[in-house]
Amino acid sequence: MDIKPVLLWSDLLLFLLLAACVAAAWACRRSPPQRAAWGRVARSATGMASAVTLALFLLVGVLDSLHYRTLLPAAGERERPVYGIEVYSVLDGLLLSLKENTEKTYSAPLATRLFAKESLEGGREFPRLKHGGAHLADEAGWAADVGRRALFGLGAGAALWALLAAVLAPALKRREMAWRSVLTVLLLTSLAGGTVVMLGQGYHVLGTDKVGQDVLYLTLKSVRTGLLIGTLTTLVTLPLAIFLGVLAGYAGGWVDDAIQYLYTTLNSIPGVLLIAAAILMMQVLIDTHPDAFSTAAERADARLLALCLILGMTSWTGLARLLRAETLKLRELEYVQAARAFGIAPLAVMVRHIVPNLGHIVLIALVMDFSGLVLAEAVLSYVGIGVDPSTISFGTMINAARMELAREPMVWWTLVGAFLFMFLLVLAANLLADAVREAFDPRTAP
């Protein structure tokens, strides 16, 4: 299959961010105190369990960020190859059967029949699904089939885990690491994953939504949106907060006053309203300049980036205030005074002597902000000022599911699916934030 890679802006930024993380990790390896602090994270059982969980989410997000367009089948006498307008990701490719096996409307998890009655030849009945359980000749064999698939999936998951453990064991044993919790998380994931994959071959594991899309597919796609909002926002927050915070603390005088005025002003605008105003404006801009965006994916991507930008603009103020206070303390320390006495330029003092010593505050603030941003995304998208309505995210999923609870009988699986994935993601982020704070905070560290 011929494909043409597509690099959306958000993909590019995400990969840049990952590269920066790798570079930072490389730099950390050379600094003994950093190594010691990370070592404390590695020895913490909850820290490692949440780190592995987050890494798995990240894997899903990265797979969903490798985009491409497929070659359309040659039709007539076209000379040049023509690529489809729809943008796929590698995750879409892996889950192609889930993406394309859509039903007519709601169906319960693992169901073989539609959720609503329809007029058929033999009177009103629940029609059979097109894909879910279609391989069953006789529906009486449903329980046996599901049981067999689940058992087989569990077995395959266990085997996969054993393989992983065998590969990892020597490496994990050598270093001091909470490898038991790593292996536990991997075991649970591979057992659940194996079962889901096996059942997913023949059924909709989490059912289908109103337009018949597989809910499992939707939840997996939502992961990327949540991760992007949580991470890309830091790209805006970090430079602003570090630059302005350190400058205000170090320079003092009118520079300090001006920067304090700036962040007090920004801070006093209620965040949601500022975001609403900015997103409304962005929407007008997109609607009045349709020619600037060639595909729907690009339009949605622009709105996602705008959301990250504006979230970043509203959230740098807290970190900047912390950094300003810390800089005020640091600039009076002897080694900074010495550097100044030697006549080193103020910028050099800031870059070489102050910024490196703010690392722990920045790191703690960033990790702690992540879960809040994922939660904010869902609420904002629900309110209608978050991501583009066509972007799959936890917020848009919950919004779509809102009316389903009023149905009789209730459609619960969309909400449960979104709840489960979002809860795991945010819980892991919160636990990791705690572990990182404990390891890096000079007040709690040994």
Partner 1 sequence: MLAYILRRLFYAVPILLGVNLITFALFFVVNTPDDMARMQLGVKRVTPEAIAKWKAERGYDKPLLWNEAAAGGGRFTETVFFAKSVRMFAFDFGRADDGRDIAAEIRQRMGPSLAVALPVFLLGLWVTISFALMLVFFRATYLDLAGTVLCVAMMSISGLFYIIGGQWLISKIWHLAPISGYGQGLDTARFLVLPVIVSVIGGIGSGTRWYRTLFLEEAGRDYVRTARAKGLTETAVLFGHVLRNALIPILTGVVVLIPSLFMGSLLVESFFGIPGLGSYTIEAINAQDFAVVRAMVFIGAGLYILGLLLTDLSYTLVDPRVRLS
Which is nearer to partner 1, 18 or 272 (by Cβ)? 272
Q: CB under 8 A: which stretch of 155-163, 229-237, 271-279, 327-335 binds partner 1?
A: 271-279
Of 275, 279, 282, nearest to 373 by C-alpha is: 275
Max intra-chain CA distance, the chain: 94
Of 138 and 287, which CB lies nearer to partner 1 in the complex structure? 287
**365: contact with partner 1 by CB under 8 A:** no
How far is 429 from 340, CA to CA, in rounded Å? 40
CB of 32 to partner 1, least distance (A): 29
CB of 213 to partner 1, least distance (A): 20
Contact with partner 1 (CB under 8 A) among 354, 378, 387, 432: 378
C-beta closer to partner 1: residue 346 or 389: 389
Between 165 and 266, CB nearer to partner 1: 266
CA dihedral sign, ordered 173, 177, 178, 181 = negative
CB of 288 to partner 1, least distance (A): 5
Please report how close the Cβ of residue 212 comes to partner 1 at its closest, in angstroms. Answer: 23
In the complex, minimum distance from the CB of residue 324 to partner 1, in angstroms, rounded to a whole number: 17
Pairwise CA distance, residues 132 & 117, whole Å: 16
* 371 is a site residue for partner 1 (CB under 8 A): yes
Which residue pairs, CB below 8 angstroms and at least 24 apart, start in 291-296?
Answer: 295/85, 295/87, 296/390
The verdict on 268 binding partner 1 (CB under 8 A) reads yes
Rule CB under 8 A: is residue 184 a binding residue for partner 1? no
Collapsing DSSP states into helix, strand and coil, what is residue 412? coil
Asked whether position 318 contacts partner 1 by CB under 8 A, the answer is no
Would you say how long the chain is, in residues?
446
Nearer to partner 1, 198 or 220 (CB): 220
Binding residues with partner 1: total (CB under 8 A): 46
Please pick, from the candidates 72, 273, 292, 338, the single residue that binds partner 1 as defined by CB under 8 A: 273
**CA-based nearest residue to 390, from 231, 225, 205:** 225
* 169 three-class SS: helix
Query: Minimum distance from CB of 308 to partner 1 (Å)?
Result: 17
Q: Does 269 bind partner 1 (CB under 8 A)?
A: yes
Q: Are 219 and 419 in contact (CB under 8 A)?
A: no
Distance (Å, rounded) from C-alpha 84 to C-alpha 92?
Answer: 15
Within 388-417, which residues bind partner 1 (CB under 8 A)? 394-395, 398, 402, 405, 410, 415
Alpha-carbon distances of 430 from 50, 183, 184, 424, rounded to whole Å: 8, 20, 19, 10
Whole-angstrom Cα distance, residue 353 to residue 327? Answer: 10
| Sheet of 88-89, strand order | 3-6, 67-70, 88-89
Using CB under 8 A, pick the residue from 31, 97, 201, 264 that binds partner 1.
264
For residues 432 and 47, the answer to whether their CB atoms sit within 8 Å is: yes
Candidate list 385, 392, 435, 436; residue touching partner 1; CB under 8 A: 385
| 262 burial level (CB within 10 Å; 0-12, 13-18, 19+) | middle
Quick check: helix, strand or coil at residue 1? coil
Among residue numbers 417 through 436, which ones bind partner 1 (CB under 8 A)? Answer: 419, 422-423, 426-427, 429-431, 434
59-67, 126-134, 267-275, 356-364 -> range binding partner 1 (CB under 8 A): 267-275
Positions 286 through 315 that interact with partner 1 (CB under 8 A): 287-288
CA distance 352 to 274: 35
| 3-state SS, residue 83 | strand
| Contact status: 270 vs partner 1 (CB under 8 A) | yes
Other beta carbons less than 10 A from residue 202's beta carbon: 18
Tell me which residues touch partner 1 (CB under 8 A). 261-262, 264-270, 272-274, 276-278, 280-281, 283-285, 287-288, 371, 375, 378-379, 382-385, 394-395, 398, 402, 405, 410, 415, 419, 422-423, 426-427, 429-431, 434
